[in-house]
Structure 1
């Protein structure tokens, strides 16, 4: 192909992330999952994937019954260190 595979993979990730951000900005709930069926040959065949093509995952969109609570996150000091 004209575009290297690595750039195609990065582009798919960027598209998925942007769709999730857009859904959130519009007030929708959204989630990106890579479940077992992303790797199932029968599922991929039904979806029209050809030999050598892969599924990046599935994006789920919908209205939220309630806004999810904030989850516990590590402190910045636990995750970041100075280098050099």
Structure 2
């Protein structure tokens, strides 16, 4: 048995970008190529999609992998912090 990524003929970056783009808990994929070669390696990732089952095998929906991602405090503007 080989690596599913290799069996599908994907580079490492393609399923990584697809995971972020297709996961309902993520709002966007931020990429920052510095060279034309890096950009060209990233472009095919736009055509790769992941099923819900594949996403859940990596990280199930609702699971926090890193507790730091839970935030750092109040998420609303308190009354005493409002201008009016």
Q: What is the TM-score normalised by the length of structure 1?
A: 0.27
Bigger fraction of residues in strand: 1
Bigger fraction of residues in helix: 2
